[in-house]
Structures are given as C-alpha cells and as structure tokens.
Structure 1
Amino acid sequence: MKLNKSILSMSVALLSSVGVMAQTGAASGTPFGSGADSVRCLQNISIFSSYAKAQNFDDAFEPWQLAYKECPGSSKNIYIHGANILKHKISKETNPAKRAALINDLLALYDNRIKFFGEDAKKGKDAITLDKVNDYLALTGDKADYGKVYDWTKHIVEEYKENSPANLLYWFLSSSREVARKDASKKEAYLNDYLAASDYLDTQLNALTDSTARANLEINIAQLDESFARSGLASCDLLKKIYTMDKIEERKTDKNFLASTIKIFQNSVDRDDEGNPVGECDSPVPDKAAEYLFRLEPSANAAKSLAGKYVREKNYNEAIKYIEEAIKLSSNNNDKVKAYELLWGIAGKTGNGALASRAQNAILAINPNNGRILIQQAVRIGNSANSIFPGDPVKARCVFFLVIQRLQAAAAKDPSVAAQANRLIGQYRARLPKAADIFMHPELGSGKA
C-alpha cells in the first residue's frame, strides 16, 4: 500500500514538472517557449514554411496559425509567409464581412511583426509599414481609409525623417492630401507635411549617385509637386494667411523657413471661384523671402523666385541673369528643367528665337520625351514653312508632312500631350497640298524628301 502511494506521488510530481517545463512562447515571453511547446513551435514553423514555399497556402494555414498564436516571436517566417497565406485566403473569400476580418488580421500581422522584429537590420518597421500600406491599398481600393494610412506613415516619417523610404513618403503625402480634402481644418497640416516630405526627398536625391535611381526619384518628386499644385488645397488665400510679410521679417535669417516659403509658393497656383487655375499666387512674400535667402546662401530656388519677380516687372535682362544663376546652382534635373522653362518663357515674351532654341534643346537634352517642347518645335517648323520655300505655296505646304510626323512622335513619346498633338495634327492635315497640286510638281511625290 505504501509502495502504491509512493508511485502515485512520484507520478503526480512528474506530470507537474512536465507541465511547468512545457510552456508556449506567448505565455512565457520567450521566442520558442519551453519543453514540448517549444518542440511543437519548431515543428509547426518547419511544416508551414515547406508548404508556403511550395505555394500550398491552404495546407500551410493551420500550422502557421498555431505557430503565430503560440510562439509569435520565434521566427520572421511567421510574418513573411503569413502575409502570403492570409492574402491567399483573402483572394478566395467572397463574404464581405469575412474578407474585411481577414484584411484586419493581415494588418495586425504587420503590427506584430513590428512588435517582434521592428528593429531588424534587413527590414525594419519603416519597410514593414510600407508593405502594410501597399497591401491595404491594393486590397481595399477606392474604399481605403486614408486617415489610417496617414496615421501609419506619419509615425514612421516623424521618426525616420530623411531616412524614410521614398515610397512611404509618397503615401504619407498622398494620404495627408486626402485627409485635408475631407477636413478643411487639416489644410495647414498638409502644407507642413508637403514641405517636410519635399525636404526629405530632396536630401535623398542629393545623396544619390546612381543615374537611374536619381531619374526615378526625380519623377516621384515631380509627381508630388504636380499633385500639390493641382490639389486646390494650397490656395493663394490660405498661403497669404499663413505666410505674411511680418513673418518673413521675423525669420529673415532662417534659411530653412525662407527656402520652404519660396518652394510652397512656386508650386501653388491661384484659382477662380470654380477652382480653375488662373495663374501664380500674386504675393510679395516669396520675392522678399528669395531676396533674403539669396543674400544668406545663393540657391537655385531663390534665384528662380527672383527671376520670376523680374519677369513680372518686365525687367527681362535681370530675370535672365538670375535664371542663369539658377541653372548653375541646380543640383538635380528637375530644378534645371524648371529654370530652362523660365528661360523659354522669357524667349517667348521677347521674341528671342535663339534663346528659345537654346532653352528647348537644353530641356530635351535632359528629357528627350518632353512633349511640350517637341510640340513647340513642330509648330515652329510649321510657322516657318513660307520662309523655307518662299514663293512656292505648294512646297511650303509640304512642310506640314514633317510637322505632322514630329507631332505624332511627340504624342508617342509623351502621352500627356497626346490630345493637344492630335488636335494640331488634324489642323495641319487640312492644310496639306492636294494630290492635283503635287501632280503639277514632278519633283514631289510619294516617298520623296
């Protein structure tokens, strides 16, 4: 009897010790847990990883779910493969409520990856958040809540600043714009976000040495500037309320403030009551800011702003002087193109053909697919048809074949100008010589130059 009691006591103690030893990672606060639970964690990770690598996400789900629940801090594979497993389930789900719940599970998965592996050297919380945003927008489409996107990205941008991923900065600014469109009280916040993101992107651009990477980032920056200008949120009235002459005087030695003031006015337009653009915001503020900034530290933006001031005053010689300075000081192609466009504008106002050609050729050297310039060059050829063949109207009209060819090339290279190019093509086709006219000129004919 005593022996039986001893055996029973030993059995209870042994079972108790196994219970203490077997503990999940989630319960113990350790990566794998302990005892049998740690073994099960490793087994589940191995099983779902094998299935996921073979794209067998259905069979991967159950062991993945167990590992995610019991030992969430054990392996990055729980999150790398887990995102694909959940996206597979989302793609198959037809019930709207269940699909929404799965999307929330996916977002929570990214949050937990940040919790356990957010400081990972290869992929930290900045890159993880970008994946979260990309998946959320892809899965929700036009039902996306940009307020959520703004909250997710804002925390990262505030922490990482100029080291934030460029694409994350893009979504940060895009979501800020969408929030401001729905809530007028957020307009000033959007202006500040735009200035911060632009500054960070400019810093990244100046640090890049790879020409392809620079070109791609310049495109992103140009798109954000264009979106800002077209948003209707940076209204002239709002800018005048925020940026006053008194504020410029108070901060006339603050280079960053002066530079941001110039940039925000340069990328804003004045609009009529229906929201249509009617020209640049007419304010002395950016001119004064540019004047102070150029004294402190000559820069491309300050020079362009001063050039704009002299253009408005019709002092074109002085304007050209500052544009030349802007070209010299420009550190990237976007800034150079904007400076050459100012030069091109002055050439048009003054009828200086040589200056226009120089500006156009410089822009095309940077971007051979600039449709606006290609169209202008084609039109210029058309306008000079009579001087090319003086006294021969038929041959002069043959020049329009070349003009049409140039316009077709412009439309093909730059889809943004296709509509304008096609309208002009229609106009020039109507002016082409008739077959009977060409018949009277034996030197002309199909295939002849």
Structure 2
Amino acid sequence: MKIKTLVAVLLLSGGVTTTFAQSDCNANSSISHEAVRAGNFKDAYAPCMAVLKDCPTLRYYTFGDAQKILIGLMKQNNDRNSAEYKKLFDELMNVHDQKIKYLPEFSKKYKTGIPSPASALGTKAVDYLQYAPAPDLNQAYAWLKESVDGAKGESDGAVLHFFLDVSMQKVKADTNHTDQFFQDYIDASKYADDAIAAETKEAKKKNLQLIKDNLVAMFINSGVADCESLQNIYGPKVEENKTDSVFLKKAVAILKMMKCNENEAYFKASEYLYNINPTADAAVGVA
C-alpha cells in the first residue's frame, strides 16, 4: 500500500511540475513576444532564451523572435571584436541550428508557413555573412550551395543573391573556381526563373525579377565571363548535354547575352536545340 501511495505521489508531483513548467513557458513566450513587438530587445532576451531552452517546440515564431532579438542587440554593439558581440553571434548561429533541428516537428504541427531545412540553412548562411565578426567565405559558400541545391526554385531571393555573390568572390580569389562559378550562375538563374514562374502575387513576382536581373548583372560584371572563357566552359558541356533542351536554352541565352554569337559553342548549342525544338530563336543561331 505504501509503495502504491508513493508512486501516486510521485506521479502527481511530476504532473504538477510539468504544469508549472508549461505555465512558465507560456508566460515567458508572451513576455518576450510582446517585448519584441515593441522593439525592446533587452527585456525580450532572457524570457525568449528561456523558452528555447525549456520548450523549444512551443511556438515556431519564437525562433523568428530570437533572431530579431539577437540581431537587434548586435546592431546596438558596434564592436564586432568584443566578447559580448561574439557571444550574441554564437547564440544566433545556435538559434538557426536549433530551428533546423525542429523543423520536421513543426512541419507536422502546421500545414503551411514552415520552410524546409535546406531553405533554413540558406537563411543561416545569410545571417552568417552579414553578422559574423570575420566570415569564412568557404564556409558560407558550402552552406549556401547545400541550401540552393536542396531548395532549388523554393530558395529565398536573398539566398540566391548571396550564393552567386560569394561564388563570384571565390572565383576572383582563385580562377580554378571559374567552371563552378559558371555552373552556379546557371543554377541560380534557373531557380530564380522557376520561382518567378510559380509566383502568383505580382509584387513578389516583380521582386523576384529584380533578383534575377541582379544575378545577370553580377555574372556580366564578374570579369571572368569573356567569350574565350565561355567557349572553354560551354564547348564540352554542350556536347555532354546535346539532348537537354533546358541546358541548351540557357547556354544559348548566356552566350547571346555576352555577345558571343561567333563562338562554336553557340552554334552547336543552337543546332542541337533546333533539332529538339525548331523554334525561331534556335533557327537564328543555326543560320
């Protein structure tokens, strides 16, 4: 009897503890969320961090609040080399990692509005580039490429922009990255086109078009996209992809945009494209 009574007391006390913990989480969540809405990041910090520590899956918006809080506090600290700034930055990266960890759980809980882990990794990379005391371009590129390869046409515009920008910085530092830079442009441009085609809201479609235009401008102004380089890159690739109309269209468009209409790669891509789909544009290249 005594054992049964003890078990009952322990179960009851455990339930009470859980209830109090849940109550604390709800209270801290409300306090921090209201403070964030008021722009009071200092007072929002402690309760928000407590929620992420004790009940990280309580509400998805807690992660967005935490990002705003930490970025807001970092912006108030002008010394990126200070211990306090570095602490806040490390916490920001941890918030991103924690969010990515729990995204599958949130996806089951909510039907819409939850990004994929690949997309969330891109957001982390963007914050890393903007707020790291001394960002490592190779690390940022690795995250951005993994994100873009995974999210494809669902990639955020900012992620596509930074992806190509970092790739351009890498090729300027090491010409061995040239081939990869060209491929990165092809991929980023295609995913931007896919996003534009899928978007139904005109305002967002215009914003995506601006991002696509910026990608094109970055490629043209990179300093490595001359006709000789394009021939060296696209010559073999055109042969490898002579039955891939999507690749051929992109190759023809890039070579035409860069005024490399006299290149053998341009002629071959146009010819193969005409054989697949004899359009007027392809006929011009053949002619």
Report the TM-score range of the alignment, normalised by the length of the smaller protein. Answer: 0.7 to 0.9
Structure-1 separation of matches of 2:159 and 2:280: 27
Deviation digits for residues 341-388 of structure 1 (CA, Å, limit 9, x no counterpart): xxxxxxxxxxxxxxxxxxxxxxxxxxxxxxxxxxxxxxxxxxxxxxxx
Shift in Å, 1:286: 0.9
Structure-1 separation of matches of 2:23 and 2:56: 14
The equivalent of 1:285 in structure 2 is 265
- Counterpart contact for 1:262–1:301, Cα < 8 Å: no
**What are the equivalent positions in structure 2 for 1:321-332 lying under 5 Å apart?**
none
- Counterpart contact for 1:187–1:233, Cα < 8 Å: yes
Letter in 1 for 2:56: P
Deviation digits for residues 292-311 of structure 1 (CA, Å, limit 9, x no counterpart): 212321457535645xxx6x
**What are the equivalent positions in structure 2 for 1:245-260 lying under 5 Å apart?**
248-249=238-239, 251-260=241-250
The equivalent of 1:263 in structure 2 is 253
Matched, 1:139 2:124: no
Structure-2 separation of matches of 1:54 and 1:15: 43
The structure number with the bigger radius of gyration is 1
Query: Among residues 168, 171, 174, which one is paired with 2:165 in the alignment?
Result: 174
Structure-2 separation of matches of 1:239 and 1:190: 11
Structure-2 separation of matches of 1:62 and 1:117: 23
Q: Where does the alignment leave 5 or more consecutive residues of structure 1 unmatched?
A: 1-5, 24-33, 270-279, 311-449
Shift in Å, 1:206: 3.8
Matched, 1:83 2:60: no
Matched, 1:103 2:89: yes
Cα separation, partners in 2 of 1:128 and 1:21, compared to 1, 3 Å: same
Shift in Å, 1:214: 4.5
Cα separation, partners in 2 of 1:88 and 1:22, compared to 1, 3 Å: farther
Cα separation, partners in 2 of 1:43 and 1:300, compared to 1, 3 Å: farther
Structure-2 separation of matches of 1:233 and 1:55: 44
Matched, 1:153 2:144: yes
The equivalent of 1:274 in structure 2 is none
Q: Give the TM-score of the pair, scaled to structure 1.
A: 0.53
Matched, 1:200 2:191: yes
Shift in Å, 1:122: 0.9
- Counterpart contact for 2:141–2:167, Cα < 8 Å: yes
| Percent identity for Structure 1 against Structure 2 | 26
Cα separation, partners in 2 of 1:175 and 1:19, compared to 1, 3 Å: farther
Q: Secondary structure at the match of 2:161?
A: helix
Shift in Å, 1:49: 2.4
Structure-2 separation of matches of 1:77 and 1:215: 27
- Counterpart contact for 2:231–2:264, Cα < 8 Å: no
Structure-2 separation of matches of 1:228 and 1:300: 26
Structure-2 separation of matches of 1:303 and 1:144: 47
Cα separation, partners in 2 of 1:64 and 1:216, compared to 1, 3 Å: closer
Letter in 2 for 1:283: N
Deviation digits for residues 214-235 of structure 1 (CA, Å, limit 9, x no counterpart): 4443333232122112212334
- Counterpart contact for 2:164–2:185, Cα < 8 Å: yes
- Counterpart contact for 1:228–1:268, Cα < 8 Å: no
The equivalent of 2:219 in structure 1 is 228
- Counterpart contact for 1:259–1:301, Cα < 8 Å: no
The equivalent of 2:55 in structure 1 is 71
- Counterpart contact for 2:126–2:158, Cα < 8 Å: no
Considering only aligned residues, what root-mean-square deviation do their CA atoms show, in Å?
3.5
Q: Give the TM-score of the pair, scaled to structure 2.
A: 0.78
- Counterpart contact for 1:117–1:124, Cα < 8 Å: yes
Shift in Å, 1:290: 0.5
Structure-2 separation of matches of 1:92 and 1:103: 13
Letter in 2 for 1:195: I
Q: Secondary structure at the match of 1:243?
A: helix
Letter in 2 for 1:97: S
Q: Where does the alignment leave 5 or more consecutive residues of structure 2 unmatched?
A: none
Shift in Å, 1:15: 7.6
Q: Secondary structure at the match of 1:122?
A: coil
